[in-house]
Structures are given as structure tokens and as C-alpha cells.
Structure 1
Amino acid sequence: MKQLNEKVAIVTGAGQGIGKGIALCLAKRGVKIVATGRRLEPIEATIAEIKELGGDGLAMSCDSADRERVFEVVKTAIDTFGSIDVIVNNGQAIVPSQPVEDTEYENMLKAWQSGVIGSLNYMQAAFPYMKEQHEGRIINFASATGMFGIAGQLAYGSNKEALRGLTKIAAKEWGQYGICVNIVLPGAESPAAKAWAEKFPEEYAKQVNLNPMKRFGDPEADIAPVVAFLAGPDSCYFSGQSVIVDGANSIMP
């Protein structure tokens, strides 16, 4: 079984926020990083930072909804570094808040294509290689928005709950091949959270105060280490689980 520092990981949405924090955290632990995102400049900056730290990586622009491009990314990762061991499906388009009766088809489609469909694309592209080496880690991302049903978030929240379903079914089917599939529900200071704070400062302050730890998580220091555990050898019997990382703000029964 590979140690974490022997692995190669694709991290989607790695140009900012949680994705960047995960890429940096894994790279500091010796993981070779293939950083992807729709815009090349931010992910190139992430890889440049990784290389300055002494790590290794590659930046590739990719919209996860573009299935052909996703398969190209996975093949390039293998051609460049020799394997693909970890997929971190963090990338997700953010769509406007709308009530159910007014939710636009375009927003629903955008959320699902970038989330559950994009994640499935990466999972299916990596599966043959992970199956052959009888080892792999898939780490998807969901949200308390879907788990607890936040009003106004139909497109985003329903997509995130579908991702939890995808994760559980894949874990059942792929366990026989040594592939662990889990999903993280983070509470972090992402760019989207910061934008929301600027728009609704009073509500933001209220939510921070409701958190038992009186803060939102730091992407690299708080969220990414949990992802590092899920990506490493110590999680080889841990699969199909929803892992909430938000300072005890949301606790599953």
C-alpha cells in the first residue's frame, strides 16, 4: 500500500479557497498535484507556490462538465507522474439563490453539471487505473446546505445531496477493488463565503457566532488535513462516509 508521499492527486477547483488549501496541504506532505480549474491563471499560481515549497505538480485547465477533457487530464496525470491515486472533486459552480418555484433550469443544469456530473466524470476516468492497481481514493464534496435543506438553495443543495448518493453507491461497488470513496462537508472561509459576508455582514456575523468555535474553518489548516487522512493509507477501511468538518456547527444524528 502506498504511503501518502508516494501518491498522485488531482484536485479540482484548485485555484482558490478550499481547493487551493487542499492542494498546498497535500503537496507539503509529498503528494504530486495535478491542479485543475476552468481558468488557467489561478491554478498555475497554485502550482507555482507548490514548486516554491519544493513540491511537484502540474496545472491543467478543465471544466469538469467537459467529459472528454476530464479523461485527457487523467491520462496526462498518469503519463506525467506514472499513476493516479487520489481524486479530490472540490470544484463546483455557484449559482444564485432562488426559491423552488423560481429556480431557473439554467442554474439547475449548471449546478449539476459542475457538481455531480463533473465528479462522476473524474471518477469514471480514474476508475480503470485505480482498479488495476487495486488502490484508490475518491474524495467528493457536499454541503450542509443540502443535508439540512437550506431555503433558497435548491439547485446547489439538491446537487450536493446527489453527490452524497453517488459517493455511497460507488463506495459499495468499488470497495472490492481497494477504492475508498468518501465525501466531505466543509465549513470554511471560501471565496464564496467571503463574498456572502460582504453582501450580508450581519447574517455572516450571526452564523459565525452560532458556530461553537466562533469561526469558520481555514481551508488549508482545518479542512485539508482531513482530506489528507482520507487520501492516505490510514483510511484504507474507511469508505462511504459523509465527513462534516465545520467545528461542530452541524452534527449528524
Structure 2
Amino acid sequence: MNFTIFKTVVCLFLWSFITSPILVRANECAAQSKCIFVIGNSITQHGPSPEISWTGNWGMAATSSDNDYVSQVLKLLKKNSGHDLWTADRQSSNVLETTPEKFTLSYSSVKLSQKADIVIVALGDNFTPNSNNLATFSSAYLKTLFSLRPIKGVLVCVGTWWSSAVKDKIIQDSCLSAGGTYVDITGLSKSPDNVAGNQQSISNKGVAAHPGDLGMAAIAERIFKSIQRQLIDSKLIQ
């Protein structure tokens, strides 16, 4: 995306969201907890879907909820902070990726994210870029970041699993504009061991192409390493 388009997108982030009931209400973090707010697509969470033979209600296609990348990030935070007070609230929606002009955020999601210690935005894989929709997606993504960025915490923007230079450039530029940390996961999906279908027997090709347990762990590791110094400086971990 050239500088003129991106500059236009930055100017447009203040546009009001088009009303559309996209996200469920977020739960308030428990008192004294350290909170992560995560918004993403099926890699973050996907409910049971018999038509694609997926029975889980966590990040596709980890073998259990304990093995998806959100849970793996929590494990790293707990290990490096010396306590178990970390909790995560995750939201799953591909509307920003498929119909960005209709995407909106619930009031409760915005309020929860603003209070969070870490906000992770992992969206972009389901967006199909062309010359007509780049500015729309970029504007919606940038507005989402500005709405969700925590008041005192760390904003994280994760690149695409099915790596796309065009989409990753939008994500990285937008993240920088919003004061966040971009996490590059380029290449992880190219390693056979990271892909679920190479580690499990999965009949649906779409599900099989998602990260398996090792892929989820690799994503979590890159997220943690990207913000480790910030978390130490903020005394959130040791």
C-alpha cells in the first residue's frame, strides 16, 4: 500500500462504526487479575461446527483448549510472572476480514480492552485484497486498533498465518500508527510440523491447514518474545 493511500486511511480512522451486532458482550476481568483481551478469527476461537467435523470451542485446530495460542501465551505469562493471576477474554469474528465496511465493536469489548494489560489483535487471514477494497479494510483495521488499544497496557498486532505481504504491510503500518507492537509470524505455516493436518488425522482440508499444537506454540512464543521487554519494564513479568 503506497503512502498516499495509507495517509488517507489514517485520516479516516475517526469515522464512526456502522452499527452491526458482531461481538458478544465481554466479561469483566476478575478483581486483582492481570488481563489479556484477544480478538481474532478461527485461529483464536471457533465454536463446534459439524459440517466441517470440528468439535472444539477454542483456537482451530489445536487438540485442546490448553494448546491453542491464547492458552500458550497465558502459560508463558504465568511462568514468567511467578503467579497465576493472568486471565484472557477472547472474541472471535471474521467480519472485519470479510465485510470490513460492516464491522463494529461492542461497547463492552472496547471498555474491557482499554482496561486490559495486553490486547492482541489477530485478524487478516480471511481478507481477500484487491484494488477496490484495500482502503476499506485498512481503515476498518486501523479504527479497530485505536478503539481497542489499552490505556496503560500493550497493544499487539499479529500478522497473517497464511502469509500475505500485502496484508501484513497493512497490519504492520496500522499497528505502528496505533502505537502497538507488530508480531511477524511469516514462515510458521511453511513448516510442516506447525500445520495441524500433518500432525493429526483431519478430514476437512480447511481445518487441517490451521496451526496444530506446535504451530500454536510457535505463534505464542513470537507474541511473547515481541513484548517481553515491555512487560518487564512495566513490571508485569520478571
TM-score, structure 2 normalization: 0.47
Higher helix share: 1
